[in-house]
Amino acid sequence: MKKAVFISASPNTEKDDFFTAVKVFLTPWNWNRKLWIEKFEQKIKEKLNVAYVHTFDSGRSGIYVTLKSLGIGEGDEVILPSFTCLVVANAVSWTGATPIFLDTSKSDFNSDFTDLKNKITPKTKAIFVQHTFGKIVDVKLLKSQIPKNILIIEDWAHTLSSQNKLIGDLAVLTFGIEKVISCVRGGAIITNDENINKLMEENTKNLPNYKTSQAFINLINPIFWNLVLPLYSVRFGNLSLGGAIRFIAFKTKILGRIITKEELIGEKPSNLPSKISPTLSILGINQLQKLEKLNEHRQKIALIYDKYLKNYSDYNEFSLTRVWLRYPISIKDNQKKAQIISFCRSQNVFIGDWYKTPLYASNVTKKAFEKNKFNPTDVPTTLEKCQRVLNLPTSINISPKIAKRIAEGIHKILVS
């Protein structure tokens, strides 16, 4: 039975991850052992060659606690990308600080830093640098162009790699289901700055534990998708068995939600922030040891797309060091964009739309924009990019054969 390829449905999960999750599921006496968190943090230090690591239930919790630890809050400003996820802006707003949004570069999906001088004020305390779709921003150059008292916080959500060098003051990592490695739910802050680390230690020691009931739901995720994805090939007319099971799972809250209802209106859920789950840390350890393998596969798949779709992506020369979390393409013609989505689905490949809105989240609300003091008309290039973007899967569950078939089919649509 052929598996469907879902860009967002636990795409990193292999058989060993499945069996790791099953083993953890069947050994509940291991679920709350702090030892696993300590092991995961140590593995991150070694893999990324950094001095200090602090893990959390999510990347946004890490951002929130970090800003609070550094005394950033009411009356301060933090500069952010507008082509990003809602939860990044939310985490800043929850501290009382004001997010200030950059437009997006015309040449790729990173922030347009040429306008930075007009955004920096005496209130500016930090700048977030997101390496979107793994395309690295020149942080060293950026650092030389801004006042020394402004922190640079790198967002490595799209670009986790043992080849990375931390140039900013710190970086945020996230281990959600769609990221470079996944433990379903988790995040971390890394730094080489001893003073930042001391402040972080003081503000993390009393964090509450992650709820065991929530960890149980998260643990189901890789098990569920490993079993259900092959069932997308079982069809009854237009209905797939896998799709029906997925619908029921979400309706009955078996899988949970990545972003809560409170977050969709800009509010902070009462259970955030917390420590990372020891249970999920076990999954993270297993994924982290395969980081190079996962990224090498992404390179291989991106090279196939490059042959057919380079002119529609965000680069001039293919990078052999880039982490191709997803392969982005920009399509001006809405009809062709719809044809591409339909064609991919006909091949049992479900592609992505990061980020089809600024401050993206499924069902993002105007209230969330208001909470974050965000006006979409202030970032016209971001709006244009959001309307055009599609992303193709590069993860371990797509084979070179399928990638080639998809690339050829998309190219045929675009040149027709």
What CA–CA distance (Å, rounded) separates 92 from 58? 14
- Amino acid 232: pLDDT: 87
Q: Is-contact 28 242, C-beta < 8 A?
A: no
CA distance 281 to 134: 24
Distance CA 206, CA 393 (A): 39
Task: Find out whether 65 and 204 touch, Cβ atoms under 8 Å.
Answer: yes
For 171, other C-beta atoms within 10 Å of its C-beta total 27
How many CB atoms within 10 Å of residue 326? 25
Evaluate the omega torsion of the peptide bond into residue 222 and state whether it is cis, within 30 degrees of 0. no
Q: How far apart are CA 147 and CA 142, in angstroms?
A: 10
Phi first, then psi: what are they for 63, rounded to 5°?
-60, -50
Which pLDDT does position 258 carry in this prediction? 85
Question: Could you tell me whether strands 151-155 and 124-130 are parallel, antiparallel, or unpaired per DSSP bridges?
Answer: parallel
Percent of the chain with pLDDT over 70: 100
247: helix, strand or coil: helix
Predicted pLDDT of residue 354: 95
Name which of 334, 291, 336, 335 is nearest 309 in CA terms. Answer: 336
Closest to 7 (Cα-Cα) out of 222, 160, 131, 178: 178
In whole angstroms, give the CA distance from residue 201 to residue 182: 25
Strand partners, 368: none
Q: What is the pLDDT of residue 2?
A: 64
Is residue 245 classed as helix, strand or coil in its secondary structure? helix
**Based on C-alpha coordinates, what's the Rg of the chain?**
21
Please write down the HEC assignment for all residues of 8-36: CCCCCCCHHHHHHHHHHHCCHHHCCCHHH
Q: What domains does the chain contain, in order, with CATH numbers?
A: 27-204 (3.40.640.10), 291-415 (3.90.1150.10)
134 touches 323 (CB < 8 A):
yes
Strands 5-6 and 349-350: parallel
> Average pLDDT of each block of 10 consecutive residues along the chain (416 residues)?
81 94 90 93 98 98 98 98 98 98 97 93 98 97 95 98 96 96 97 98 95 92 90 84 89 84 96 96 97 97 98 95 97 97 94 96 94 97 98 97 98 96
Q: Which two tokens stand for residue 244?
A: 């029906």
Distance CA 355, CA 89 (A): 14
List Cβ neighbours of 215 (8 Å cut-off, separation of 6 or more): 31, 185, 277, 279, 280
pTM: 0.95
Q: Which of 277, 311, 305 is nearest to 394 (CA)?
A: 305
pLDDT tens digits for range 290-321 = 999 999 999 999 999 999 999 999 999 999 99
